[in-house]
Chains A and B, each alone.
Chain A
Amino acid sequence: MTTSTGTAPSPRALARQRRRASVARFWRRYRAERAGLYGLAVLVLCALLALFAPVFVGSDVSSVTEAPGRPMQSPSAEFPLGTDQFGRDLLGLVIWGSRVSLLVGLLAAVLSVAIGTLIGVTAGHFKGWYATVMMRVTDWFLVMPTLVLAIALVTVMSRSLTTIVVAIGVTTWPTTARLVRAQTLAVETRPYIERAKALGGGHWHIMSRHVLPNVMPLVLAQTTLIISSAILAEATLAFLGLGDPTVVSWGGLLQDAREAGAVSAGDWWYLVPPGIAIAVVALAFTLCGRAVESVLNPRLGVSR
């Protein structure tokens, strides 16, 4: 511990202090990862854009009856990225679309990682038949072709953002579960867990107080990586026409562009920006995830 004060601090304050210190340490190391910093900068920028989109572009950017331009105009001073088939401003739509794409990516990743962590920690903690069954289920989900399963799920449920989030979340958790379980097994062999058990710590206590904080960094890295693939998955499902057509998202814009025949008409301005947006954000999340990983595990850091 780096800090010490005159009076003996309470154990709780001590823990808090320790946590703050480790966050600071984490940040110091993260700063050294240049790619990760770039990724983070891009993400912060995107998040700000998405949050303040109502201020920048206004919520009526997606209105079709009050579209300011003619359909399918090429880029001009008035519309830097041209207009879509309703005459709406594409720049505004791309910015507005970031809200849904980021939100869906985020929620899907959180759902996926939450399921994965829950199953991973419990399967690692409770051994025996529970773990066996859970790991079998995980294995089984792991071999399911993700996209096929997601398409099937979306078809089974009604078309909405929730459906998309659930479909992505439910199909992508097994990797997390495996990683978290391995980590849990490793953590539980440490002596202080033995001590906690000896002191009468229950399952819940051990899992929430000792195991979870130790797998949290891994979970964090995993979340960033999964957001990236969740954003891609959202775009994919929307592109296949499985999204909610009344909501503006990047994948939905691509689908609109394709349905309007922008590809063969050569209207690249309709097609290129949403794709770039998806790629940039997915890349940014991947870079952050890799940076987090390499901070947590320097030996792995050079790799992956």
Chain B
Amino acid sequence: MGTNDQTRSLPRGLRLVALAGAAALTLTAGLATPLDPAPRQARAADDGKKVLTVAVAQSVDSLSPFLAVRLLSTSIHRLMYEYLTNYDPKDNHAVPGLATKWEPSPDKLTWTYTIRSDSTWSDGKRATAEDAAWTFNKMMTDDGAATANGSYVGNFEKVTAPSPTKLVIELKKPQATMTALDVPIVPKHVWEKVSDFSEFNNDKSFPVVGNGPFVLTGYKADSYVRLKANKSFWRGAPKFDELVFRYYKDQDAAVSALRKGEVSFVAGSPSLTPAQADSLKGADDIQVNDAPGRRFYALATNPGAKAKNGEKFGDGHPSLLDQRVRNALFMAVDREAIIDKVFRGHAVEGEGYIPPRFQDYFWKPSASRKLAYDPAKAAQLLDRAGYRKNGDGKRVGKDGKPITYRVLCHATDPNDKAVGKYLQEWWGDLGIGVRLDCLDNVTDPWLAGKYDLAFDGWSVNPDPDFVLSIHTCGALPATPKDTGATDNFICDKTYDELYARQLAEYDPAKRADIVKQMESRLYDLGYMNVMAYPNAVEAYRTDQIKSITTMPAKAGNIYGQDGYWSWWSAVPADSGDSSGGSSTAVVAVIATSLVLLIGLGTVVAVRRRAGADDRE
């Protein structure tokens, strides 16, 4: 028999393990209640600090401003570093940031910025024009440093800092976007020590030297980003002492955390779902901010992908080259139903390319030109274009085969999948088949032009240049092997001429007028069919945040603003018991001893019982 001393003790040992396990479970379970007095008031940490906790769903890609492209990371950089200019929270016009004044030369090619003298880095050194010049020059000369924001300096000829308060940027061509350079200015004396910009993530030593309203003090991947208020911020110190971005992979978890007071704010990615918003509306001490968003949600059509050298590639359906077909397809999309059923009212029906939130640039088609929902007319249009139904009720292409469009959709976006189901039925009624290609990563077929239609959407900046630029011929890839900045390979001469004119137009009103003409052109072409402008749906606890600035000030969003207004302006709710730093400790001690007692008791009790079992 192999059973001797060694094995004899096995069962008893295991039993002990079981007991320990059970005890551990009771222990942790017991801990729960006392440690978590439901909705915690204003999150007063140990020393009475006011902490603002924001639930985010995105993980940080990099904390280096030269590498970061995700919204969360760039928002954090807004808080850590001053940019040359900022946007007014009321109406988005450019306001002073690190620069107090700016002026173009008469030939439109030289911009001179006056740098403020009252901004200091968190290590005590003054922030100067030299820092700004160094940042831009680094991006112009080092490929690694140009990774994220290189496009801003593409048209720069030369950047110099003749004095600590004067920054001069010389351009190759006139550029109207010089007050919208969203580039974090970093301290030269810290960053010049970095050897490889493509690998440095700025997340090893804390606090990170900066001059924004907050200073980065801690980061743990996929857990949290922690910032503390910069008391010497030139615009004035933030009202909260600490700002924490906490990572919730699951949006439901984030919403529940808000409900319980674990976090003060939930942004959602990109927004809360209608069900979540509706359920939060009824909750105590929670304010749902349902504001016009800055995004448009569109159906992009493949216009036959081609490169600048004229080479064609991809395999978009040839029938889509006919404007009548594109218009007919869009006329069979019931946008009201999408707003009503998919967004459940948390969106505005799409019209022009730029959302109404940016009122200066907003354009919409006149009633007569509008491609309103009209399936019967859509069917006629298709008939006229020569795509008639065959015996099975399917419309056939010029090649004689029934038409089935491949619609590229983002597997991670519920709206894409939902609208896709509607498209299948609406277009199915027209006699056109739809195959939804839902992928985690749509980049590849997208860049290769291997799709027919695609769900598309962009967040629009206060300066619309970027979202306009992605539809110019200049944005096409040089050859099929390159990657262009183009969104979906649109290349239209009329549009391009207008684009060039607006970029060189330094008068805002005239520029806005040209931009509207561009939108009108885009609408008629039918390659970008804007279905909706989704609202920013977010929520916060009113017992933790008393007030917070939205952007635009009336009816605007809080998370992902252009600027640091929301977190900088947030005022903590005054709560009587937020002084209870020490009382939390007391509760914790009592709770722990209680739990230890319970745990011990359980162990003893279970052992007794187990012993009784053994005896039988």
- Determine if B421 and A261 form an interchain contact, defined as CB atoms under 8 angstroms apart: no
Stretch at the interface among A17-25, A183-191, A220-228, A262-270: A262-270
B426: chain A residues at CB < 8 Å are 65
- Determine if A65 and B422 form an interchain contact, defined as CB atoms under 8 angstroms apart: yes
Q: Is A75 an interface residue (CB 8 A)?
A: no
Q: Is A251 an interface residue (CB 8 A)?
A: no
Most buried by B among A261, A266, A267: A261
Q: Is A139 an interface residue (CB 8 A)?
A: no
Q: Is A79 an interface residue (CB 8 A)?
A: no
Alpha-carbon gap, A263 to B422, bound state (A): 24
- Determine if B255 and A86 form an interchain contact, defined as CB atoms under 8 angstroms apart: no
Alpha-carbon gap, A158 to B251, bound state (A): 27
- Determine if B411 and A241 form an interchain contact, defined as CB atoms under 8 angstroms apart: yes
A258: chain B residues at CB < 8 Å are 250, 252
Q: Is B341 an interface residue (CB 8 A)?
A: yes
A259 with B341, Cβ < 8 A, contacts A64-B422, A64-B425, A265-B278 known:
no
Alpha-carbon gap, A244 to B438, bound state (A): 8
- Determine if A264 and B274 form an interchain contact, defined as CB atoms under 8 angstroms apart: no
A263: chain B residues at CB < 8 Å are 252, 256
- Determine if A266 and B436 form an interchain contact, defined as CB atoms under 8 angstroms apart: no
- Determine if A72 and B439 form an interchain contact, defined as CB atoms under 8 angstroms apart: no
Q: Is B462 an interface residue (CB 8 A)?
A: no
A86 with B276, Cβ < 8 A, contacts A241-B412, A264-B259 known:
no
Alpha-carbon gap, A244 to B307, bound state (A): 33
A86 with B417, Cβ < 8 A, contacts A264-B259, A265-B279 known:
no
- Determine if B411 and A265 form an interchain contact, defined as CB atoms under 8 angstroms apart: no
Interface residues of B in 240-277 (CB under 8 A from A): 250-256, 259, 272-276
Q: Is A155 an interface residue (CB 8 A)?
A: yes
A261: chain B residues at CB < 8 Å are 251-252, 255, 272-276, 279
Q: Is B414 an interface residue (CB 8 A)?
A: yes
B556: chain A residues at CB < 8 Å are none
Residue of A nearest to B409 (CB): A245
Q: Within the complex, which residue of B256, B341, B425 is in contact with A264, where a contact is CB–CB below 8 Å? A: B256
Nearest Cβ distance between residue A15 and chain B, in whole angstroms? 47
Alpha-carbon gap, A72 to B274, bound state (A): 10
Chain A proximity mask over B376-400: 1 for CB below 8 Å, otherwise 0: 0000000000000000000000000
Nearest Cβ distance between residue A294 and chain B, in whole angstroms? 27
Alpha-carbon gap, A67 to B275, bound state (A): 18
A155: chain B residues at CB < 8 Å are 440
Residue of A nearest to B256 (CB): A264
A86 with B418, Cβ < 8 A, contacts A262-B275, A264-B279 known:
yes
Interface residues of B in 274-307 (CB under 8 A from A): 274-276, 278-279
Residue of B nearest to A245 (CB): B417
Q: Is A246 an interface residue (CB 8 A)?
A: yes
Alpha-carbon gap, A87 to B424, bound state (A): 17
Chain B proximity mask over A236-252: 1 for CB below 8 Å, otherwise 0: 00000110111000000
A72: chain B residues at CB < 8 Å are 274-275, 278
- Determine if A246 and B420 form an interchain contact, defined as CB atoms under 8 angstroms apart: yes
Nearest Cβ distance between residue B331 and chain A, in whole angstroms? 16
Q: Within the complex, which residue of B272, B341, B421 is in contact with A246, where a contact is CB–CB below 8 Å? A: B421
- Determine if B421 and A71 form an interchain contact, defined as CB atoms under 8 angstroms apart: no
Nearest Cβ distance between residue B320 and chain A, in whole angstroms? 21
Q: Is B344 an interface residue (CB 8 A)?
A: yes
- Determine if B424 and A71 form an interchain contact, defined as CB atoms under 8 angstroms apart: no
A260 with B279, Cβ < 8 A, contacts A64-B421, A71-B274, A71-B344 known:
no
Q: Is A63 an interface residue (CB 8 A)?
A: yes
B272: chain A residues at CB < 8 Å are 261
B276: chain A residues at CB < 8 Å are 261, 264-265
Nearest Cβ distance between residue B448 and chain A, in whole angstroms? 15
Alpha-carbon gap, A263 to B255, bound state (A): 9
Q: Is A203 an interface residue (CB 8 A)?
A: no
Alpha-carbon gap, A1 to B223, bound state (A): 70
Q: Within the complex, which residue of A63, A64, A71, A245 is in contact with B436, where a contact is CB–CB below 8 Å? A: A245
Interface residues of A in 169-228 (CB under 8 A from B): none
A245 with B438, Cβ < 8 A, contacts A64-B341, A72-B275, A264-B255 known:
yes
Q: Is A136 an interface residue (CB 8 A)?
A: no
Alpha-carbon gap, A65 to B422, bound state (A): 6
Q: Is A85 an interface residue (CB 8 A)?
A: yes
Chain A proximity mask over B330-344: 1 for CB below 8 Å, otherwise 0: 000000010001001
Nearest Cβ distance between residue A251 and chain B, in whole angstroms? 14
Alpha-carbon gap, A134 to B228, bound state (A): 61
- Determine if A245 and B420 form an interchain contact, defined as CB atoms under 8 angstroms apart: yes
Q: Is A159 an interface residue (CB 8 A)?
A: yes
- Determine if A260 and B414 form an interchain contact, defined as CB atoms under 8 angstroms apart: yes
A265: chain B residues at CB < 8 Å are 255, 273, 275-276, 278-279
Nearest Cβ distance between residue B483 and chain A, in whole angstroms? 22
Nearest Cβ distance between residue B437 and chain A, in whole angstroms? 8
Alpha-carbon gap, A136 to B337, bound state (A): 57
A65 with B425, Cβ < 8 A, contacts A241-B411, A259-B414, A261-B276 known:
yes
Most buried by B among A159, A241, A262, A265: A265
Interface residues of A in 35-81 (CB under 8 A from B): 63-67, 71-72
Alpha-carbon gap, A226 to B273, bound state (A): 37
A245: chain B residues at CB < 8 Å are 409, 411, 417, 420-421, 436, 438
B275: chain A residues at CB < 8 Å are 72, 85, 260-262, 265, 267
- Determine if A87 and B341 form an interchain contact, defined as CB atoms under 8 angstroms apart: yes
B252: chain A residues at CB < 8 Å are 258, 261-264
A159: chain B residues at CB < 8 Å are 411, 437-439
Nearest Cβ distance between residue A5 and chain B, in whole angstroms? 56
Nearest Cβ distance between residue B333 and chain A, in whole angstroms? 12
Chain A proximity mask over B63-88: 1 for CB below 8 Å, otherwise 0: 00000000000000000000000000
Q: Within the complex, which residue of B254, B279, B341, B414 is in contact with A71, where a contact is CB–CB below 8 Å? A: B341
Alpha-carbon gap, A67 to B344, bound state (A): 14
- Determine if B424 and A246 form an interchain contact, defined as CB atoms under 8 angstroms apart: yes
Interface residues of B in 401-416 (CB under 8 A from A): 409, 411-412, 414
- Determine if B273 and A260 form an interchain contact, defined as CB atoms under 8 angstroms apart: yes
- Determine if A63 and B341 form an interchain contact, defined as CB atoms under 8 angstroms apart: no
Q: Within the complex, which residue of B250, B254, B341, B436 is in contact with A86, where a contact is CB–CB below 8 Å? A: B341
Q: Within the complex, which residue of A86, A158, A242, A267 is in contact with B421, where a contact is CB–CB below 8 Å? A: A86
Residue of B nearest to A242 (CB): B411
B279: chain A residues at CB < 8 Å are 261, 264-267
Alpha-carbon gap, A260 to B413, bound state (A): 11
Alpha-carbon gap, A71 to B279, bound state (A): 13
Chain B proximity mask over A74-108: 1 for CB below 8 Å, otherwise 0: 00000000000111000000000000000000000
Alpha-carbon gap, A198 to B253, bound state (A): 69
Alpha-carbon gap, A16 to B557, bound state (A): 76
Alpha-carbon gap, A245 to B455, bound state (A): 15
B255: chain A residues at CB < 8 Å are 261, 264-265
Residue of A nearest to B255 (CB): A264
A–B Cβ pairs within 8 angstroms, 21 of them: A64-B341, A65-B422, A65-B426, A71-B274, A71-B344, A86-B421, A87-B341, A155-B440, A158-B437, A159-B439, A245-B417, A246-B420, A258-B250, A261-B255, A261-B274, A262-B275, A263-B256, A264-B251, A264-B279, A265-B255, A265-B279
Kindly list 7 other residue pairs between chains A and B, CB separation below 8 angstroms, not including A256-B414, A265-B275.
Answer: A85-B418, A245-B438, A258-B250, A260-B414, A264-B254, A264-B276, A265-B279
The 10 closest A-B pairs by CB, nearest first: A261-B273, A264-B255, A261-B276, A265-B279, A263-B252, A259-B414, A264-B252, A265-B275, A245-B417, A261-B275
